[in-house]
């Protein structure tokens, strides 16, 4: 759930520290006070695109930080694990937006991309704007709602995958039937080239080793002479060498130590240098004893390099890409051999179709059962939302061809009043009806969702009176399952909330600033009374507000 929001220098907010509770929270305030700022800030912290100048005038940057409790949010924890980000019970998302439009993102203090904020945000909050109900007109949205209500969303994803598997094999079968001669020629060529590459026996780790060995062998004489010269200078030179000089210095320092004990540390360093020089001389001697010119091996290495270069030129790739080419060609050979065996390919297509059809049939059954329950529930909700006699139905029409979405098309139907045949939602529902039906669907399906927090931005526009009270009760009911934050102008909706936040704005030193604060019981009475009675708040209005809030 959403625990806290921190805002700095965002639009008309200079500083804001806000804590949230579980359940249903109402956010109210006069028009223009800045209620939408909260939604905008939350959206940006969840990876929304920055559409305009959001940094407060005169400030270098705006900062938004949101804290979530994800102790029980498996989806968020799985995402963090997949991204190799440290997992704690508290998740902090932070977005910094500079005045010039640049922005930076952080997840638990680690630098992140805006895309990552958006991905993790999908597991944390669902935001429903005032116009969100328009998405309900889309067939895809209607299908997703029904699948979620049927708790069949994972099955729907599996059906889509199985369809794609079958479709690819089916397309391969059709392609082979149409181009069998071309495939046969391609297969013959690939068999020749893979045979040649196998005979070459070139491994990806061989190329660098070959080049290193070639450099060493081709410079063998120079290596031997250079090592012998180094050995002479180090320890075996007749006239003078480094070891003799160091030994003389050792003797001299030993004499000087009798005069000044402070030279002991220098003498010890010199002793260490002598030991290391002796060890280096012995190692170089051992290397020289094993080293010799090997023209035969050099010829073998050069022939091998030439063969590899020849194959690379033939296939027009770099030498170190030959192993990958062989793997790709072997994979293509396997595909073409499967094509050439008509019976085997046909069997694969048949098995893929069977797997798809079985799962799609299960999905159809789940949809049919859920469609009846959903239609009954939403129809009942419509009666309470001033759509008396209205009816909601879910039409499942068998598709003429199988699709990735299953064997049928899902479409919501609605009748606004009694005696009317339900028709497609996008053809008959008015804006007000659509808003109420959308809210009923959201409340009905919300308890089945996995996203722990829902935010409604003035979704109750266009309703009032007894309908508003019903909406408030629905949102309160929803708050029993999820954390719900609602921006509203309706007293009947706000009065049903467990927590009440008020937005206000004021002039300070020539600047307009917005404030959001939690209200106590007496302050809630005043705010609900304001929403009921406007500027002139009477004691009668306050008593009405107390009654709505259940305050004696």
Pairing of strands 90-98, 61-69: antiparallel
C-beta of residue 484 within 8 angstroms of C-beta of residue 456: yes
Per the model's pLDDT, the better-predicted residue between 123 and 435 turns out to be: 123
Question: What's the confidence (pLDDT) of residue 508?
Answer: 72
Q: What is the mean pLDDT of the chain?
A: 84
Q: What's the pLDDT at 371? A: 95
pLDDT beyond 90 at 364: yes
User: What is the sign of the dihedral through the CA atoms of 104, 109, 115 and 118?
Assistant: negative
- Give a three-class secondary structure readout of 69-86: ECCCCHHHHHHHHHCCCC
Number of Cβ within 10 Å of residue 551's Cβ equals 15
Judged by average pLDDT, the poorest of 166-175, 222-231, 248-257, 526-535 is 222-231
List, in order, residues 6 or more apart from 455 with CB less than 8 Å away.
Answer: 39, 42, 125, 126, 127, 128, 484, 485, 486, 487
Q: What value does the mean pLDDT take over residues 113-128?
A: 88
Q: Kindly state the average pLDDT of the residues 420-447.
A: 75
Percent of the chain exceeding pLDDT 90 equals 27
Whether residue 411 is predicted with pLDDT greater than 70 in this model: the reply is: yes
Alpha-carbon gap, residue 485 to 500, rounded angstroms: 10
Task: Give the SS3 label for residue 90.
Answer: strand
Mean pLDDT score, 519-523: 91
Burial of 414 (0-12, 13-18, 19+ CB in 10 A): buried
Mean pLDDT score, 44-51: 86
Band (pLDDT 50/70/90 cuts) for residue 459 is low
pLDDT digits (tens, 9 = 90+) for 474-510: 888 888 888 999 888 889 999 999 999 988 877 776 6
DSSP string, 454-498: EEEESTTTT--HHHHHHHHHHHHHHTTTSEEEEE-S-HHHHTT-S
Report which DSSP code applies to 55: B
Residue 452 has pLDDT above 80, yes or no: yes
pLDDT at 146: 93
pLDDT at residue 431 in the model: 65
pLDDT in tens, 281-320: 888 877 776 666 667 777 887 888 888 888 889 989 998 8
User: How many Å is the Cα radius of gyration of the chain?
Assistant: 38
CA 47 – CA 27 distance, rounded (Å): 23
Task: State residue 454's pLDDT score.
Answer: 85
State the average pLDDT over residues 403-418: 90
541 or 235, greater pLDDT = 541
423: region left, alpha or beta (phi > 0 left; psi from -120 to 50 alpha):
beta
Q: Collapse the DSSP code of 293 into the 3-class scheme (helix H, G, I; strand E, B; otherwise coil) and give the result.
A: coil
The pLDDT, as a whole number, for residue 130 is: 59
Indicate if the pLDDT at residue 69 is higher than 90: yes
pLDDT: which is higher, 269 or 294: 269
- The predicted pLDDT at position 284 comes to 80
- Please compute the mean of the pLDDT values over residues 247-268 and round it to a whole number: 82
Q: Report residue 486: phi and psi, to 5°.
A: -125, 125
Share of the chain above pLDDT 70, in %: 89
Q: How far apart are the first and last CA of the chain?
A: 32
CA angle, 206 then 211 then 216, to 5°: 125
What is the residue whose two structure tokens read 């909050």? Answer: 125
Mean pLDDT across the stretch 1-24?
88
Distance CA 395, CA 410 (A): 6
Indicate if the pLDDT at residue 70 is higher than 90. yes
Asked if residue 155 has pLDDT above 60, the reply is yes
- Whether 499 and 26 have beta carbons less than 8 Å apart is answered as yes
- Structure-token pair, residue 104: 């930076």
CA nearest 93: which of 453, 526, 444? 453
pTM: 0.60
Mean pLDDT over 4-10 rounds to 90
Q: Report the C-alpha gap between 437 and 443 in whole angstroms.
A: 10
Q: What is the mean pLDDT of residues 36-65?
A: 86
pLDDT at residue 338, rounded to an integer: 66
């Amino acid at each position: 759930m959403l625990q806290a929001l921190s805002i700095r220098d965002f639009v008309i907010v200079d500083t804001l520290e806000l804590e949230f509770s579980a359940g249903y929270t109402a956010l109210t305030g006069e028009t223009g006070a800045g209620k939408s700022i909260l939604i905008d800030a939350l959206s940006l912290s969840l990876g929304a695109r920055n559409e305009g100048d959001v940094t407060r005038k005169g400030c270098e940057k705006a900062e938004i930080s949101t804290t979530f409790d994800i102790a029980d949010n498996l989806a968020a924890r799985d995402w963090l694990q997949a991204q190799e980000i440290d997992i704690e019970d508290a998740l902090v998302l932070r977005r910094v937006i500079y005045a010039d439009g640049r922005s930076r993102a952080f997840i638990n203090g680690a630098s992140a991309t805006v895309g990552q904020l958006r991905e993790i945000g999908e597991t944390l909050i669902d935001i429903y704007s005032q116009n969100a109900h328009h998405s309900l007109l889309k067939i895809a949205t209607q299908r997703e709602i029904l699948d979620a209500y049927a708790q069949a969303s994972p099955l729907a994803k599996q059906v889509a995958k199985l369809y794609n598997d079958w479709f690819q094999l089916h397309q391969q079968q059709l392609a082979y039937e149409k181009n069998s001669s071309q495939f046969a020629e391609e297969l013959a060529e690939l068999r020749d080239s893979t045979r040649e590459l196998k005979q070459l026996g070139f491994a990806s780790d061989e190329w660098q080793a070959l080049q290193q060995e070639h450099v060493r062998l081709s410079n063998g004489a120079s290596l031997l002479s250079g090592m012998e010269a180094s050995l002479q200078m180090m320890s075996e030179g007749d006239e003078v060498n480094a070891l003799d000089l160091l030994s003389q210095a050792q003797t001299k320092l030993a004499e000087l130590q009798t005069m000044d004990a402070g030279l002991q540390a220098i003498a010890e360093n010199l002793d260490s240098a002598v030991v290391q020089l002796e060890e280096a001389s012995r190692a170089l001697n051992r290397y020289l004893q094993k080293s010799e010119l090997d023209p035969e091996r050099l010829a073998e290495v050069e022939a091998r390099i030439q063969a590899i270069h020849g194959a690379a030129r033939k296939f027009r790739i770099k030498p170190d890409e030959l192993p990958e080419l062989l793997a790709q060609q072997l994979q293509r050979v396997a595909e073409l051999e499967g094509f050439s065996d008509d019976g085997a390919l046909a069997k694969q297509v048949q098995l893929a179709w069977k797997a798809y059809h079985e799962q799609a049939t299960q999905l159809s059954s789940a949809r049919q059962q859920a469609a009846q329950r959903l239609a009954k529930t939403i129809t009942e909700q419509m009666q309470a939302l001033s759509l008396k006699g209205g009816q909601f139905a879910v039409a499942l029409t068998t598709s003429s061809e199988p699709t990735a979405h299953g064997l049928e098309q899902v479409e919501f139907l609605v009748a606004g009043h009694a005696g009317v045949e339900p028709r497609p939602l996008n053809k008959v529902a008015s804006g007000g009806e659509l808003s109420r039906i959308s809210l009923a669907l959201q409340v009905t399906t919300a308890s089945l969702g996995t996203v722990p927090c829902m935010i409604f931005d003035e979704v109750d526009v266009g309703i009032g009176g007894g309908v508003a009270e019903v909406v408030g009760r629905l949102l309160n009911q929803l708050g029993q399952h999820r954390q719900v934050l609602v921006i509203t102008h309706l007293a009947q909706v706000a009065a049903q909330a467990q927590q009440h936040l008020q937005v206000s704005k004021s002039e300070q030193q020539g600047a307009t600033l917005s404030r959001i604060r939690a209200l106590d019981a007496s302050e809630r009475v005043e705010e609900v009374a304001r929403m009921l009675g406007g500027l002139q708040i009477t004691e009668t209005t306050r008593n009405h507000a107390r009654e709505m809030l259940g305050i004696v």
